């Protein structure tokens, strides 16, 4: 239960709405009990009165009061059921937003190295399937058993008015049934439902990665083998799901038999009390019908609690992720940002990238080009400057101030960083550009597009800058996507610039046009250019092969 505690606390922030939703659930059940019980009493009382009239006895019978009560319960049940569905589902959607917002906020604080512990498909599954499992906490696991318990107390209290011993006997049977359908179903479904969550996670990861690598798998001739693995994984999950559904079916059968048993017990006890002259005929009929109405409160419990193990498993995984902490720590008392934005790497080592004792200086307003082969550590150099990672040894300084002493948010606001891989969102061209400067005008967007030689292409599109780029920019070629990302960096207009292979995927003529257009914009900025060849990068004040940055190489 401790796994659910953080999420229950978050759900508790909406306790006002939860109480209202629970009251609507209870009102729906109570109205059903009242409707069936009063209808049975009224029909029986009407028949008894008719028999007495036929026997020549003069009796008074008010049909208006019970008739009005029946109409009241029927109308109340309809209105309460509709209101409960609308209100509670609106509440659950709000809870879903809270749950995802809390989890995404935790993920957004993590650095790349920590995020790399899990695959992207696994992070996606946590944000969707696992949280979808948790958002049923209230509507399936919390409110329904409580409402069922209140229903038992209501019906048994009603029976106790007429026959206390029968009320106690029926109450014990119903409480035992409630425990069996909640705690019992949770126990017998614990392993299977938890396993299903894990299997679904693996299946989704396998399916997504197979789709992403479809071209490579086809070219290698291994696609059929991967498909077979996916099918076998699916079959195992379906087998477990079928076994779980079998247990749910047994639970639902138990719920039906339990309620019917309570009805038979109530009817038998009521008939005995009627024979002894302790109950009237209409009350004798009312008791089993009131018990029968409780089936509405018990019907959904087996399926909900059979999934309890899956809910715990999802909560456990989400808790593990929200407990992750970034290796990039914010300074407790950030130092002021230096006036000079010169960058210095002093004896920097990053073990996983093979960097040892790296020394480098970029003076303020100067540019440096570092060239080297793939995998030598150029992108690591950029990540250190942007403080996406911290060194294992040595330090980075802004002028004479350690980078780790400066506010992380304030420092990153000074950097325009074009990463090695183009990252575009599934949104419009304008929205992707505005990530660089949310306050940029349309005129500024077109100026940036002009600088990267994309303005003519975008104008030719039917929707212009409102054209959607597709997932990861797939509506555009690699070179066009690269230029969009560069335009976004230009819009940020940052004093410190990091360009990692800015012109990859571009032909020589396009590259030369862009270099000519952005050269005045680059002047006076502290800039680091990274690539394989100097000819494929903007002109710089200094050029260094990467191997010269480390001693002994």
Q: What is the pLDDT of residues 86-126, one digit of tens each?
A: 998 888 888 888 888 888 887 777 777 777 777 777 777 77
Average pLDDT of the segment spanning 247-268 = 94
Q: 56-70, 370-384, 456-470, 503-517: lowest mean pLDDT where?
A: 56-70
In this prediction, residue 250 carries a pLDDT of: 94
Domain ranges for the chain: 2-322, 343-549
pLDDT at 553 over 60: no
| Under 8 Å between Cβ of 209 and 185 | no
| Under 8 Å between Cβ of 328 and 111 | yes
pLDDT band at 1 (very low <50, low <70, confident <90, very high): low
Angstrom distance (rounded) from CA 532 to CA 370? 8
Q: 41-50, 118-127, 330-339, 451-460: lowest mean pLDDT where?
A: 118-127
Q: How many other CB atoms are there within 10 angstroms of residue 264's CB atom?
A: 12
pLDDT at 27 over 90: yes
In this prediction, residue 552 carries a pLDDT of: 52
Mean pLDDT computed over every residue of the chain: 87
In this prediction, residue 550 carries a pLDDT of: 67
Look up the CATH number of domain 2-322: 1.20.1560.10
In this prediction, residue 316 carries a pLDDT of: 85
Angstrom distance (rounded) from CA 306 to CA 58? 57
CATH superfamily label, 343-549: P-loop containing nucleotide triphosphate hydrolases (3.40.50.300)
Between vectors from CA 155 to CA 153 and to CA 156, what angle results, nearest 5°? 65
Average pLDDT of the segment spanning 411-421 = 88
pLDDT at 169 over 90: yes
In percent, how much of the chain has pLDDT > 70? Answer: 99
Query: Tokens at residue 301, please?
Result: 């419990």
pLDDT at 249 over 60: yes
Residue 452: which of 415, 422, 426, 496 has the closest Cα? 422
pLDDT band at 15 (very low <50, low <70, confident <90, very high): confident
Select the more confidently predicted residue: 283 or 478.
Answer: 283
In this prediction, residue 461 carries a pLDDT of: 87
In this prediction, residue 489 carries a pLDDT of: 92
In this prediction, residue 8 carries a pLDDT of: 81
Average pLDDT of the segment spanning 213-231 = 86
Please state whether beta strands 367-371 and 542-545 pair in parallel, antiparallel, or not at all (unpaired).
Answer: parallel
Q: Where are the strands (E) in 351-504, listed by range?
A: 355-362, 367-371, 393-398, 401-402, 415-418, 496-500
Dump pLDDT digits (tens) for 125-155: 777 778 877 777 788 888 899 999 999 999 9
Please state whether beta strands 415-418 and 496-500 pair in parallel, antiparallel, or not at all (unpaired).
Answer: parallel
| Under 8 Å between Cβ of 258 and 177 | yes
């Amino acid at each position: 239960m401790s796994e659910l505690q953080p999420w229950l606390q978050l759900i508790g922030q909406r306790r006002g709405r939860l109480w209202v939703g629970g009251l609507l659930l209870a009102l729906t059940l109570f109205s059903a009990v009242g409707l069936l019980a009063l209808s049975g009493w009224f029909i029986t009382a009407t028949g008894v009165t008719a028999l007495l009239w036929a026997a020549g006895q003069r009796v008074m019978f008010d049909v208006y009061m019970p008739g009005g009560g029946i109409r009241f319960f029927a109308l109340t049940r309809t209105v309460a059921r509709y209101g409960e569905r609308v209100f509670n589902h609106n509440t659950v959607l709000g809870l879903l937003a809270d749950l995802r917002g809390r989890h995404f906020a935790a993920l957004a604080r993590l650095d790349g190295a920590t995020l790399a512990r899990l695959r992207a498909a696994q992070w996606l599954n946590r944000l969707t399937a696992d949280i979808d499992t948790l958002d049923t906490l209230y509507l399936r696991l919390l409110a329904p058993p409580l409402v069922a318990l209140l229903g038992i107390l209501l019906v048994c209290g009603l029976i106790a008015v007429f026959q206390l011993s029968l009320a106690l006997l029926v109450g014990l049977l119903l409480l035992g049934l409630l425990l069996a359908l909640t705690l019992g179903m949770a126990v017998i479904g614990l392993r299977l439902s938890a396993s299903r969550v894990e299997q679904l996670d693996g299946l989704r990861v396998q399916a997504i990665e197979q789709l992403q690598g479809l071209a490579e798998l086809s070219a290698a001739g291994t696609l059929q083998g991967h498909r077979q693995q996916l099918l076998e994984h699916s079959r195992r999950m379906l087998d477990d799901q079928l076994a779980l559904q079998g247990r749910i079916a047994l639970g639902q059968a138990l719920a039906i038999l339990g309620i019917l048993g309570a009805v038979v017990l109530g009817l038998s006890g009521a008939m005995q009390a009627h024979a002894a002259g302790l109950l009237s005929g209409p009350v004798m009929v009312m008791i089993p019908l009131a018990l029968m109405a409780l089936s509405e409160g018990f019907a959904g419990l087996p399926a909900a609690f059979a999934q309890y193990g899956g809910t715990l498993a999802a909560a456990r995984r989400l808790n593990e992720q929200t407990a992750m902490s970034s290796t990039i720590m914010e300074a407790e008392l950030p130092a002021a940002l230096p006036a000079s934005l010169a960058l210095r790497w002093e004896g920097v080592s990053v073990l996983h990238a093979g960097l040892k004792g790296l020394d480098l200086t970029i003076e303020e307003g100067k540019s440096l080009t570092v060239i080297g082969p793939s995998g030598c550590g150029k992108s690591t150099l950029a990540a250190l400057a942007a403080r996406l990672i911290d060194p294992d040894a040595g330090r980075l300084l802004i002028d004479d101030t350690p980078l780790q002493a400066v506010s992380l948010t304030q420092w990153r606001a000074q950097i325009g960083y074009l990463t090695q891989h183009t990252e575009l969102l599934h949104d419009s061209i304008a929205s992707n550009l505005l990530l660089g400067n949310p306050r940029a005008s349309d005129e500024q967007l077109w100026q940036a597009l002009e600088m990267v030689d994309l303005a003519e292409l975008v104008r030719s599109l039917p929707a212009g800058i409102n054209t959607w780029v597709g997932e990861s920019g797939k509506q555009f070629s690699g070179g066009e996507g690269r230029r969009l990302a560069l335009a976004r960096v230009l819009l940020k207009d940052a004093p410190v610039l990091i360009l990692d292979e800015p012109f990859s995927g571009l032909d020589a003529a396009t590259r030369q046009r862009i270099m000519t257009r952005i050269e005045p914009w680059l002047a006076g900025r502290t800039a680091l250019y990274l690539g394989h060849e100097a000819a494929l990068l903007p002109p710089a004040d200094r050029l260094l092969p990467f191997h010269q940055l480390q001693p002994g190489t």
